[in-house]
Structure 1
Amino acid sequence: MKTEETTQQLDKIQELIDKIEVGMLTTMESNGDHRSRPMQTQKFDADGCLWFFTSRSSPKTDELIQHPDVNLSYADKDSHSYVSITGTASIEDDPALKEELWNSVAKAWFPKGLEDPDLTLLKVKIKEAEYWDSTSSNMVQAYHIAKALITGEQYDEGEHKKVQV
């Protein structure tokens, strides 16, 4: 059951992901190696799930079936915002959700549109999320880093939370 604090933290994570948009999805290959690739986030739903378009024929589809535990990482160096998500992935074929999420950019990967037989959805149910977010400007951050270097005190990097879902 989600607490009010967990809900607020998930709202913060959604805000960061919505700004960053593209995450790096890390899966495990059959030989145990990890592989990451960029994925455009389509939706962060109220149940704590992230949704992506993907190809049925993609190697990641087989990797997810064999090893559904994944990591998603998001980074925006300009705003100093970072998110790391541990979750369980599944391949879903929901025509209504595909239609809801469809956008013109997706057509670059799926030229046949919603009728493309290779088009499917990848769902990541969040188990744990961690984020770092600095609301300070680059100039203020540079000042605090310089101050930490001069004084020997540790630099305070901003807001940092770990959320169990």
Structure 2
Amino acid sequence: MSKTLEEASKQLQKIDFCMLSTSGESGPFSTRPMSNNGDVEYDGDCYFFSYENTRKVSDIEQDARVGLTFTAPPSLLGKPGVFLAVQGTASLIRDKSQFEAHWVKDLDRWFPEGIDTPGIVLIKVSASEIQYWDGEDNGRIPLASRNAH
């Protein structure tokens, strides 16, 4: 039985860190860890805060296609881990009201002035497809139609 988008979203909310892959001038791709702070909506959107003057932001400005990979360890009951790969389109948000909507206290560690930290930007990744493997099941959840508008 295939997973639904809502089931995948619930799993993503439980995994704090993922790997964000971008493409840019300096190479075929670059990958770095990012925290989604549990900010994953059931419709397939993930949000990440960053500083403006980073390679990931300049990569996204050149090519908005990105990949996210999430991994959850095996359960204490022995169920295999969960692996999710998200293909999507990134957009850069510079609106402080959007910062407020997605801010969590733990972000103060990286952004000491909160949403007023100079050079802060919000990266929104809208999934076009999610692939998953959980040891018992695997499949794809296509979401291309939601990005076609």
TM-score between both structures, scaled by the size of structure 1: 0.76
Residue 58 of structure 1: CA displacement?
A: 1.3
1:28 aligns with 2:23: yes
Higher relative helix content: 1
Q: Note the 1:122-141 alignment, pairs <5 A.
A: 122-133=123-134
Shift of 1:46: 4.5
- 1:34-84 deviations in Å (ceiling 9; x for gaps): 111111114222542111111111111001110111110001233411100
2:140 matches 1:162: yes
Structure 2 Cα separation of the partners of residues 12 and 35 of structure 1: 29
Rounded to whole Å, the distance in 2 between the matches of 1:91 and 1:130 is: 24
CA distance in 2, matches of 1:112, 1:126: 30
5+ residue gaps, structure 1, are 134-156
Matches within 5 A, 1:13-92: 13-42=8-37, 43-79=39-75, 80-92=81-93
Letter in 2 for 1:88: T
1:117 matched to which residue of 2? 118
The size of the alignment, in residue pairs, is 137
Is the 2:129–2:141 contact (alpha carbons within 8 Å) kept by the matching residues of 1?
A: yes
| Percent of aligned pairs with the same amino acid | 28
Distance 2:83 2:26 in 1: 29
**Amino acid corresponding to residue 28 of structure 1 in structure 2:** S
RMSD, matched Cα: 1.9
1:110 counterpart SS class: coil
Cα distance in structure 1, aligned partners of 2:107 and 2:61: 23
2:66, 2:18 → 1: CA distance? 12
Q: Distance in 2 between matches of 1:109 and 1:21?
A: 15
Letter of the structure 1 residue corresponding to residue 36 of structure 2: T
How far the C-alpha of 1:114 sits from its partner, in A, is 1.2
Distance in 2 between the 1:27 and 1:126 partners?
14
Letter in 2 for 1:73: T
Unaligned runs of 5+ in 2: 76-80, 144-149
